[in-house]
Amino acid sequence: MLKTEERNPSTTNIDKMPTSDIIAVMQKENLNAVNAVAMAQNSISNAVDEISLRMAKGGRLFYVGCGTSGRLGVLDASECPPTFGVPNGLVVGIIAGGDNALRNAIEGAEDNAIAGAKDLSTFNITERDSVVGISVAGGAEYVLGAIKYAKDRGALTVGISSNEDSKLLTTTNVSIFTDTGAEVITGSTRLKAGTAHKMILNMISTAVMIKQGYVYENLMINLKPTNKKLRQRMIRITATLTNVNEETAEMLLEKNGFNIRSAVNDYKQNPTL
């Protein structure tokens, strides 16, 4: 039996617990997700370095998953353009069953290896690309099909799973194992296994973007003013980097097409503004 399918002895009577105890035991199990990620730091670092090398040469990052895993990949990919100002196609999330699967369970989608390869093939994968397969159990055929296609095309393959001897981890170039153990509700891997995998995706995308130069110090210098909140954040960042007040920072940004880099460089050349 897969470790993530085992019954958790700490929660056998969870249906009879008072609410405070339910929350307490769930939080205790959440800490296991954090500890599992801590144990996987070396593998995560290796994945980041390998992905970064390829992205620096024009490669892209793909996440492929089913159900919760697929949704987490799409979520992380969709956050990269607004956070780092990168084009939509640089980080791509692919979920079994397509966009409809983001809101609905698509029966049998994860068992179709051919569909996994086909969906990935539409992106013309090359050796510069990196494909991260996400599967808690580590045996989703859709993900394995995509990974095989990626390997055949010479792309870097990374596997994330909470079962150490899973097929996914034994077939990818870089394997990231999170030993999250049995879930609070037996087999409900959207819980701490999903939490661990979300943390890893956060680390991968953020560290890769840092290494690609999309972050200065700890500031998002490639932001786009797509809403009031981000516009104000850009003003604050520019003010911080130029040591001017926010009114002057906004003037600099407006003069430079609301581009933080250009605004800061402009100020450095004309500090009397």
Which residue numbers are catalytic?
A: 79, 110
Say if residue 107 is exposed, middle or buried (CB neighbours under 10 Å; 0-12, 13-18, 19+). exposed
210 is written with which tokens?
């840092």
Q: What token pair was written down for 265?
A: 């460089």
Tokens of 127: 């050796």
Nearest-angstrom CA–CA distance, 74 and 49: 21
Number of C-beta neighbours around residue 139 at 10 A: 16
Q: Which two tokens stand for residue 209?
A: 């973007």
Compute the distance between CA of residue 110 and CA of residue 113 in angstroms, rounded to an integer. Answer: 8
Nearest Cα to Cα of residue 63 among 156, 190, 171? 156
Q: Rounding to the nearest 10 degrees, give the CA dihedral for residues 160, 164, 166, 168.
A: 30
Distance separating alpha carbons of residues 164 and 168, to the nearest angstrom: 9
Q: Quick check: helix, strand or coil at residue 215?
A: strand
Which residue from 52, 15, 36 is spatially nearest to 192, judged by alpha carbons? 36
Pairing assessment for the beta strands 130-134 and 174-177 based on DSSP bridges: unpaired
CA distance 117 to 104: 22
